[in-house]
Amino acid sequence: MVVEGWRTGTHSYALVNQAQLREMGGRSDISLTHRDLPNPSEPDGTRTAGPGDRAVSTPAHVLGDIADVAYRIAAPFDLTASVHARRTVVFLTTEHHYMPDVLMADGKPFAEAYWSSDAHLVTPSNWSRDGLIASGADPDRVTVVPLGVDAEVFHPLDDADRLALRREMGIPDETFVYLQVGAMTGNKGIQDILQAFAIVTQFVPSAHLILKGNDALYSSNDRIERFIDQFLTTTDRQR
């Protein structure tokens, strides 16, 4: 298998690719190589995998070698057949429950790109699969592969570390804190979170909301200020 995608930056597809490379790279029944596709612009050069990481150390694909399968995980979504494999599988998501043309390579309508290709699609949820089918995909050519979490990397802090982090951020020990991790873009529902938190503070004035963005790819402050201006009342902002 040759994987065609991103594997070092902060984009969610790069993080998914890293995790999948680590998993597949540890299996004896898969011979794995990687082709790095152009990364989205990350002005600060943020990297999320070091040189010793299995995801980064996956051997580079040798030009001329033809793999059984090419697994492409990058955006915009390119459904054309890979010249490096006999079969092409493409990972993609429908975050809006349909596939906008702007997310497709060359802006080609999804149905047109799909039906001129024999690529099989992989998506992480039934909700996303339904969106692909609604956009014109054949149900038999869409497979759901849920995303997993590496508990060695992502796990709750112990009580002592949690208290230390709260004190470092100036948050009282017993205060209830909501945490949102994700880009400050409209499709992440930030406006809904702000409106919901405004209601929460009517009943729990001491509650805190922490928004963790991804400024390596998307600016946060100006987006948050715009959402606050658009969706919160003056009273909400004062609370």
The model's pTM is 0.81
Question: Is 170 in the same domain as 127?
Answer: no
Position 52 in a domain: yes
Give pLDDT tens digits along the chain (239 positions): 999 999 877 888 988 998 899 889 889 999 999 999 987 655 444 555 555 666 667 888 988 999 999 999 999 999 999 999 999 999 999 988 999 999 999 889 999 999 999 999 999 999 999 999 999 999 999 999 999 877 887 888 999 999 999 999 999 999 999 999 888 877 788 888 889 999 999 999 999 999 888 777 777 788 888 888 887 777 777 66
pLDDT the model gives residue 40: 63
The token pair that represents 160 in the structure block = 């002592």
Q: Are 57 and 94 in contact (CB under 8 A)?
A: no
What is the C-alpha separation between 126 and 23, in angstroms, rounded? 22
pLDDT the model gives residue 206: 94
Question: Is 79 in the same domain as 184?
Answer: no
DSSP letters spanning the chain: -EEEE--SSSSHHHHHHHHHHHHHHT-TT---EEEEPPPPP-TT---SS-TTSHHHHSPBPPTT--EEEEEEE-SSB--SPPTTEEEEEEE---TTSS--GGGBGGG--HHHHHHT--PEEEES-HHHHHHHHHTT--GGGEEE------TTTS-PPPHHHHHHHHHHTT--TT--EEEEES-SSGGGTHHHHHHHHHHHHHH-TT-EEEEE--TTTS--HHHHHHHHHHH--HHHHH-
Position 33 in a domain: yes
Question: Is 80 in the same domain as 125?
Answer: yes
Tell me the residue type at 127: W
Residue-range definition of the domain harbouring residue 188? 159-238
Position 178 in a domain: yes
Question: Is 112 in the same domain as 8?
Answer: yes
Tokens 């459904």, located at residue: 79
CB neighbours of residue 208 within 10 Å: 17
Question: Is 205 in the same domain as 91?
Answer: no
Position 86 in a domain: yes
Question: Is 10 in the same domain as 126?
Answer: yes
What is the C-alpha separation between 133 and 195, in angstroms, rounded? 32
Position 150 in a domain: no
pLDDT the model gives residue 226: 82
Q: How many separate domains does the chain show?
A: 2
What is the C-alpha separation between 192 and 186, in angstroms, rounded? 9
Question: Is 95 in the same domain as 11?
Answer: yes
